[in-house]
A and B are shown apart, each in its own frame.
Chain A
Amino acid sequence: MVPTFFGQPELFGIHHRAESGAQDGNPSVLLCPPIGHEHTRSVRALRLLADALARAGHHVLRFDFRGLGDSSGQPADGDPVAWGTDLFQALHELWRFSGSRPSTVVGLRVGASLAVHALSTGGGADFERCRIVLWDPVIRGTEFLDNATDLDGQFFADPGRFPDRTKSLAVPTPGGDRSTLLGYSYSDSLRAWLESFDLSRVSPWPFIQTEIVASRPSSEFESLVARIQASGHQARCTVVAGTDGAWEDYSQHELALRAGRIVPVIVQRLTEGGGV
């Protein structure tokens, strides 16, 4: 692991050098993290994935979008345009470090949506032959926003956290900043994008190969696969049983994502020859 700051504004990233081969030309993979409260939950899981990919011969960079994690800025600085810029900076940083053009992007939750959005809206000429892994992708941004709003509401009404008799002391201050959800600010532009973004309507689809790796089945994933295939690209969906990310489960929202079963599947998908 080689931690570093790169780009402008300063973005934090950790390089994981390929352990087998370890030469220029090894495939290189960019990991795009989720946003908001899901970011914190996922750090250890993404580290496990990066380690496993490095052992399998991939150069890996995981990074934080501006305003998240260790990167500079505030969460309110985040919007799809700024984060798209960050994503391309990260791709170039990975290219510089690994010596090979990034071949794969792995996006988790909204990180997957941001990667697709960025590469479908221009600026990605250097990376048009990339493949993508959509890990538990958020198909519609409203799903994420509604879920975060719901969890935030449960948090501030949690009888375990605020027993009824002290609840009046513990609710957010009237007039306080309620643009935050579970401690993370969402700018107006980010909210507007989340409210309008729909992964199933992205056109043209910017990746030559698409792997959806999901912790639970969804007809929306199957529809997305069919739609991508109809556009002439390769796509498939794998459901890894018993690995539910429990993204909507309040009792899990503070706990680290358990990815022990899903990580080997992603590594296998990226290591096996012949594509999907």
Chain B
Amino acid sequence: MQRPLVFADGRLIGILSEPARRKDVPAVVILNAGLVYRVGPGRLSVDVAQRALSLGFPTFRFDLSGIGDSDVLAPSMDSIESAIVDTREALDALGRELGVQQFILFGLCSGAVYAHHIAVADARVVGAVMLDGYVLPTVRSRLDWLVARARPFDQLPRRAAGWVSRRVVRTRSRAPALERSEFLVPWPSKDKLKADLGVLGPRKAALLCVYSGEWLHYRYQGQLQAALGVPEAKGLVSEIRIPEAEHLYLDRTQRNRMLDHVGDWLAHFPWCQ
């Protein structure tokens, strides 16, 4: 069963779905992916909600301030602060509607970074699934990236000449790419992440970080834990790399792979035991 939910004094809107047979599990709260409204790119958020619902989790997809059908927050504030305020409103509303007090957040791209900050800020969050969120480099990832950039090696001289040529004429010959910076929010630093794990650890909050092939600086599964270099990360952070997938999971095959990973993580976490 699904129903619309208007909350935060009518400022925010979302879609609440409840499974036919409720289990004593947290609710899954799905955040906006960038500026895409609550259905997600190619209805990604709907698919995530349906997968979670099939496992018995209530789900809630909602629009943050100024996106989709939600109104702008006044006075305006930093996007991360605003996401925290809005999501807390959502958790409050779900607490009233469902009686649940534990939540798992789901976010893609900027939504993933928001999910991290919200998880740290609100003790009701017991887990977060982050698709193409923050990345920390390691020596291995940097080397791997350099090698990948150099491939194929037989074209290296030609590409080097092209690079020099472009530097000289100060133009770029590459086809124009989308300007993505407008969708991005700053990633937390390594020190901040370490400190955040110190907050999440005692709470036993778990993070699932899923990376597509498009997140080019994430080079190998386990890179995040290796970069953090703290033992607490091992028990809290799970990492999945799907190199064949692109950022929005518009290809159905790759989307289903991602959904399988997320479903498996949800189904096997302690709250479902």
Enumerate chain A interface residues (CB-CB to B < 8 A): 1, 3-5, 10, 12, 14, 37, 40, 43-44, 47, 68-70, 72, 75, 155-156, 158-163, 165-166, 169-170, 172-173, 176-177, 180, 182-185, 251, 254, 256
Contacts and interface: CB of A to CB of B under 8 A. Distances in A.
A180 B246 CA distance: 15
A251 B178 contact: yes
Nearest to B255: A183
Contacts of A3: 4, 6, 13, 69
A72 B178 CA distance: 32
Given A3-B13, A170-B246, 19 more contacts: A12-B4, A40-B39, A40-B41, A70-B15, A70-B46, A158-B177, A159-B177, A160-B176, A161-B177, A161-B214, A163-B216, A169-B243, A172-B253, A172-B254, A173-B251, A173-B254, A182-B250, A183-B249, A184-B43
B271 to A, nearest CB: 27
Binding site secondary structure of chain B: loop
Nearest to B4: A3
A165 B250 contact: no
A40 B38 CA distance: 10
Contacts of A14: 69
B244 A1 contact: no
10 contacts: A44-B67, A44-B68, A159-B174, A163-B216, A170-B243, A170-B244, A172-B254, A173-B254, A177-B253, A183-B42
Interface of B: 2-4, 6, 13, 15, 35-39, 41-44, 46, 67-69, 148-149, 151-152, 174-178, 213-214, 216, 243-255
Contacts of B36: 40, 254
Nearest to B246: A170
Nearest to A163: B216
